[in-house]
Amino acid sequence: MKYKYDKETDIMIIELSKEKPDFAEQKGNIITHYNKKNKPIEIEILNASKETLEMIKAMLSKKIATAKN
């Protein structure tokens, strides 16, 4: 797995496989690229500085809630 971040465009790319993607789906600021077998190959996060912070906040709040129970 490789991570790349472009500061100028604020895009983070997470490469899950060296395969070439066949198609992609976008949900909000997340674009997931897939191979023919629907296996995720690459994830692009647009507006990454904000999106990744929101993801981390959500994960931490979930972890804190789980720890309290």
| Average confidence (pLDDT) over 1-10 | 94
* Tens-digit pLDDT profile for residues 7-65: 999 999 999 999 999 999 999 999 999 999 999 999 999 999 988 888 888 888 876 77
Sign of CA dihedral 23, 27, 28, 34: negative
Say if residue 2's pLDDT is above 90.
yes
Q: Any long-range contacts for 35-43 (C-beta under 8 Å, 24+ apart)?
A: 40/16, 41/15, 41/16, 41/17, 42/13, 42/14, 42/15, 42/16, 42/17, 43/13, 43/14, 43/16
Q: What is the structure's pLDDT at 55?
A: 82
Q: What is the structure's pLDDT at 19?
A: 94
Q: What is the structure's pLDDT at 69?
A: 64
Q: What is the structure's pLDDT at 60?
A: 85
